[in-house]
Structure 1
Amino acid sequence: MKSLLIGITGKMGTGKSLFTTFFKKMGVPIYHSDKKCKKLMNEKKYIKTKIIKYFGKKSYLNNKINTHFLSKTVFNNIYALKLLCSIIHPWVFLDFNNWIKSKKTLYYIKESSLLFESGTYKYCHLIITIVSPIKKMIERIIQRDNLNEEQIMNRINFQTSNKEKIKYSNIIIHNNIHNTLYLENKAKNIHNKIIKKIYQIYG
């Protein structure tokens, strides 16, 4: 039986990470692309060398990725963002493929804010997109990260529009109030439907 790949995406601050925790509680393996991306940027010598070559020595501070500097650079220049993605994404794909080899499960989830930008959506059997009002997104990000509203909007605007995400998605979650119970119930319902569908396909 082939495991299904479920993609969960949405712009920053929509509640992706919280939503995926409920699947994890139900025993579903989760690959957090954004967290893994940062880890690889800190650990892979090839990535470090390329980033410093194209973006300068300030890209790393005390041998760790200088997120503030790099974000300021790439989220003001679409070509710089594409260049950075071209350096990192092949390594994320490789890491992800190695990760799934050790998983024996009916389905697994790849959570990524750049599911469409990286091309990963093409390999997903089901895509779930979380959307949220911009005001709520900004509130959550300010509470979570050390960013001002202008910096937040720069990043949000560089991500694929919700219109495009929705166009290619199978399920849309409207996280308007960031209600934990609401998201948990949504996750349980989707999980049950996925399991039911798998058994219908494979018997």
Structure 2
Amino acid sequence: MLKIGITGGMGVGKTIVTHMFAVLGVPVYDADSRAKWVMHHHEALRQELLHAFGPETFSEQGELNRTYLAGVVFNNPQRLAQLNSLVHPHVRDDFEVWVASHADKPYVLKEAALMYESEAWKQMDEVIAVYAPMEVRLKRLAHRDAHRTEAEIKAIIAKQLSEEEKMRRAQHVLCNDDRQLVIPQVLALHKSFSSRGA
């Protein structure tokens, strides 16, 4: 079985691309949603987070206080690195358990915005970088994240690994620029991965 990573910055459309693979019957692991699940349900991690970030990390009902946590780490690289060092090892373990449950498939996908930053790429056989030019991304994000200003969106993007670096590191680049057809690109990759992972 091949383990294929899929990544890309905000607004490139990696979720839509990932849905296309899912429609083709490919199991997809969403690292962001699984990280939230693990932070809620892994008791040892919950205790580590409480110790590192204080009682405000969880509400009285036991829900993760994402707004508080985001505020603590957004402009503090040291605190962000601390958070990632706690969460990412548990997500890697969770992914390996999930992979084992899909051992009958030729390949699986792991969608992760922080594929390289979290070093999740080391678990992958290959990585797809989804690409869209900045003007297209900003247009999409202005529609999707209407509660954010363009300056806020650009600030978030600026903290992510550059698209150029992601494309340089990835084995495959899928262009989602609203000009090239995406489905044929997905089908070509699916055919290749299916034949090699079978």
Fold agreement, TM-score > 0.5: yes
The answer to whether the 8 Å contact 2:128/2:172 transfers is yes
> Is residue 137 of structure 2 the alignment partner of residue 137 of structure 1?
yes
> Is residue 85 of structure 2 the alignment partner of residue 86 of structure 1?
yes
Hey, what does 2:5 align to over in structure 1? 7
Q: Give structure 1 stretches of 5+ with no counterpart.
A: none
**TM-score when normalising by structure 1:** 0.85
Deviations 1:72-127 (A, max 9, x none): 32221211111111110111011111111111111111110111111121232221
State the number of aligned residues: 195
Task: Look up the SS of the partner of 1:7 in the other structure.
Answer: strand
Q: Percent identity?
A: 30
Hey, what does 1:39 align to over in structure 2? 37
Against the structure 1 CA distance between its residues 144 and 56, is the aligned structure 2 distance closer, same or farther, given a 3 Å change threshold? farther
- Displacement of 1:41 in angstroms is 1.5
The answer to whether the 8 Å contact 2:106/2:194 transfers is yes
Structure 1 residue ranges (4+ consecutive) displaced by more than 6 angstroms after TM superposition:
none
- RMSD between aligned alpha carbons? 2.1
Deviations 1:183-202 (A, max 9, x none): 22221121112223446xxx
Rounded to whole Å, the distance in 2 between the matches of 1:39 and 1:15 is 23
Hey, what does 1:102 align to over in structure 2? 101
Q: How does 1:143-154 map to 2 (within 5 A)?
A: 143-145=143-145, 146-154=147-155
Rounded to whole Å, the distance in 1 between the matches of 2:16 and 2:94 is 23
Q: Give structure 2 stretches of 5+ with no counterpart.
A: none
Task: Look up the SS of the partner of 2:4 in the other structure.
Answer: strand
Task: Look up the SS of the partner of 1:28 in the other structure.
Answer: coil
Hey, what does 2:118 align to over in structure 1? 118
The answer to whether the 8 Å contact 1:32/1:111 transfers is yes
The answer to whether the 8 Å contact 2:27/2:108 transfers is yes
